[in-house]
Amino acid sequence: MKAVVWHAVGDIRLDDVPDPSIQDPHDAIVRITTSAICGTDLHFVRGTMPDMKEGRVLGHEAVGVVTEVGPEVRNFRPGDRVVIPSTVACGTCSYCRAGYYAQCDNANPPRGGTVFFGGPQSAGGLDGLQAEYARVPFAHVGLVPLPETVDDAQAIMLSDIYPTAWFGARLAEIGSGDTVAIVGAGPVGQAAVACARLQGAGRVIVVDGVADRLDLARRQHAEVIDFNREDPVEAVLELTGGIGVDRVIEAVGVDAQRPAHGPAAVTDEEAHRFDEERDAIAPDQNPDGDTWVAGDAPSLAARWSVRMVAKGGTVGFVGVYPPQVQQFPFGEAFMKNLTLRMGNCNHRRYIPRLVSMVGSGELDPTPLITRWAGERDVIDAYRTFDRREAGWTKVALGLDEHGAVAPGLGTGSGTGTATTAGGRAGPGGA
């Protein structure tokens, strides 16, 4: 089968690899009809998340159709249409039963951390979902069934992006009427606008430095701040009567960038400190011109988050920070009596409810998909997404049975189009 394979930092390829097979009685095999590229995948190619193994199939977001189940999978059968949660969890241990699927004791060795598809060895070393077929462990909880009313274009956003945004809003302890800042307007930050509102936010402010991503946030009627034009902390204070926001959702992570210009541009001393941070976090970098470039201010989004929240407020961190990140403005957070919550999303906890919300029309995630890419140009799509080019906010990968762009999945489907094109991505896709 075809799959996107990680070879080295700065080197991913579309390869032919063996089809996956059932290895454990609880496994299922899923034929992928739609997959997607995530900001998390970029960390592996930029070198800011370590411990990847050559040959690893990438990807942790997918929708598909079950083709085979192991003898212990009692709740699915071939032909079922499903969305796959990004993190892998057993559903049986005390952590899973309490809803902390990302800290499952059986998918990982105890104290081992989160397991997810297409990630580092320390995150389970499992092959991922940017492929024609995937093996899903613990399929009884590792698959969520989809109703006819939720098409691929909607469902692909429920694999990781919306559950993470929902989780981020929960971490931030958003309450009725709260003023919320979302730092980062990638797919997760964009999805957090709706999730924050659904959880009660009164006002939503979004910070990023990319014009078309800020446009997309403005189209969702968030108040936007461009960190290349304004100092985001000063701008938030101005918008909030000098108090700061009640809650922050940080949706940037380790590849945070410094402003290119404007009043928040870093001083020489700060630039030096950020260079040191980046080189300590990502000793192995392999940029290709302006592609696969590690973030040049790893702790900046976290610093801004701590500075723009009101004293006594809460910051929920969903932007990913790998273990080697040691820089955090602890003293500033301490002196403001902040509550800080963070981590990997417990996807399985939120996906069934989000599927219902989409099915009932309460939530429509499709406007966030700005590009569909077919299998043949998937590496190019990765590169364009990596450079945050205009119109490439969330990239879905549609495959038809010939491995080409499925009808209606062309690159022009465009922002804000509630496309049902994913439904044509193969039998069972509707």
| Contacts to Zn ion by CB under 5 A | 38, 40, 89-90, 93, 96, 104, 106, 160
Q: Count CA atoms within 13 Å of residue 335 on its CB side.
A: 6
List the single partner that 195 binds among ligand NAD, Zn ion, none, CB under 5 to 8 Å by kind: none
Q: Count CA atoms within 13 Å of residue 389 on its CB side.
A: 11
Which residue's CB is nearer to ligand NAD, number 154 or number 164? 164
Residue 396 interacting with ligand NAD (CB under 6 A): no
DSSP state of 131: B
List the single partner that 49 binds among Zn ion, ligand NAD, none, CB under 5 to 8 Å by kind: none
Residues 6+ apart with CB under 8 A from 5: 12, 13, 14, 15, 17, 55, 56, 57, 58
Which residue's CB is nearer to ligand NAD, number 244 or number 426? 244
Residue 118 interacting with ligand NAD (CB under 6 A): no
Q: How far apart are CA 108 and CA 130, in angstroms?
A: 22
Give min distance, CB of 349 to ligand NAD, in A: 12
- Piece in contact with ligand NAD (CB under 6 A), picked from 73-81, 135-143, 215-223, 314-322: 314-322
Q: How many helices (H) and strands (E) does the chain have?
A: 13, 16
Figure out which of the listed residues 319, 365, 398, 422 binds ligand NAD, where binding follows CB under 6 A: 319
Cβ-contact 126, 59 below 8 angstroms:
no
How many residues make up the chain in this entry? 430
Give min distance, CB of 19 to ligand NAD, in A: 27
Cβ-contact 179, 189 below 8 angstroms:
no
Figure out which of the listed residues 31, 46, 388, 424 binds ligand NAD, where binding follows CB under 6 A: 388
Identity of residue 313:
G
Cβ-contact 105, 90 below 8 angstroms:
yes
Figure out which of the listed residues 183, 333, 357, 425 binds ligand NAD, where binding follows CB under 6 A: 183
3-state secondary structure of 34: strand
Binding string, residues 286-305; x marks residues near ligand NAD by CB under 6 A:
-----------x--xx----
Binding site for ligand NAD (CB under 6 A): 38-40, 42-43, 160, 164, 183-189, 207-210, 213, 227, 251-253, 256-257, 297, 300-301, 318-320, 344-345, 388
